């Protein structure tokens, strides 16, 4: 009786280990994207909320309500948090449904870097214009930074294979 031929037995071990590592990274990226959607959804709810909350308002320097209701919380009438939800959703789709496509590592990296650039711009607004920090925004910055880092690793590993 011959052993069954599997996909891993037909590929050189260096390709299998790279694919397995990327699979783990894609999973991490997908989990980060889900976290980003949740954080952005909470920020969007705070954007549209009619009343103030103590949820993440600690002082004048740390207030999600001040940031999420400022003139900088929308771009051309679209809430920044809504843009965040859409961006994280695209990252999730790239890391799950489209992960097997050859162009996905590049698209994932470009999307994550665009999100990181946007988050850094918003962080600049918080620090130097509003002089108030939104905890949700800072957490989202961390999430998109980790997403960009994992996306870079996927891209580097896919370039070697």
User: Is residue 98 in a domain?
Assistant: yes
Nearest to 27 by CA among 124, 99, 122: 99
DSSP lists the bridge partners of residue 79 as: 74
Question: Residue 19: which pLDDT band, with cuts at 50, 70 and 90?
Answer: low
Q: Provide, rounded to the nearest whole percent, the portion of the chain with pLDDT above 90.
A: 58
The more confident residue out of 130 and 19 is: 130
Which pair of tokens denotes residue 26? 């894609």
pLDDT at site 63: 85
User: Is residue 110 in a domain?
Assistant: yes
State pLDDT tens for residues 76-95.
999 999 999 999 999 999 99
User: Is residue 10 in a domain?
Assistant: no
User: Is residue 2 in a domain?
Assistant: no
User: Is residue 26 in a domain?
Assistant: yes
Question: Residue 31: which pLDDT band, with cuts at 50, 70 and 90?
Answer: very high
Number of separate domains in the chain: 1
Can you give the residue range of the structural domain that contains 73?
A: 18-160
User: Is residue 63 in a domain?
Assistant: yes
Give the C-alpha separation, 87 to 129, whole Å: 24
Q: Which CATH number belongs to the domain containing residue 92 in this structure?
A: 1.20.1440.130
User: Is residue 8 in a domain?
Assistant: no
CB within 8 Å of 157: residues ≥ 6 apart? 18, 21, 22, 25
The more confident residue out of 14 and 120 is: 120
User: Is residue 11 in a domain?
Assistant: no
Give the C-alpha separation, 24 to 18, whole Å: 10
């Amino acid at each position: 009786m011959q052993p069954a031929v599997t996909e891993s037995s037909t590929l050189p071990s260096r390709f299998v280990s790279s694919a397995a590592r990327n699979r783990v990274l894609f999973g991490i990226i997908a989990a980060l994207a889900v976290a980003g959607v949740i954080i952005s959804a909470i920020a969007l709810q705070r954007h549209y909320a009619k009343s103030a909350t103590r949820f993440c308002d600690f002082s004048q320097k740390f207030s999600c309500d001040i940031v999420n209701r400022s003139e900088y919380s929308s771009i051309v009438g679209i809430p920044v948090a809504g843009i965040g939800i859409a961006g994280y959703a695209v990252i999730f789709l790239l890391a799950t449904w489209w992960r097997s496509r050859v162009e996905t590592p590049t698209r994932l990296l470009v999307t994550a870097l665009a999100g990181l650039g946007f988050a850094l711009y918003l962080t600049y607004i918080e620090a130097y214009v509003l002089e108030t920090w939104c905890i949700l925004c800072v957490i989202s910055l961390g999430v998109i930074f980790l997403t960009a880092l994992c996306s870079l690793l996927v891209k580097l590993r896919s370039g070697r294979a």
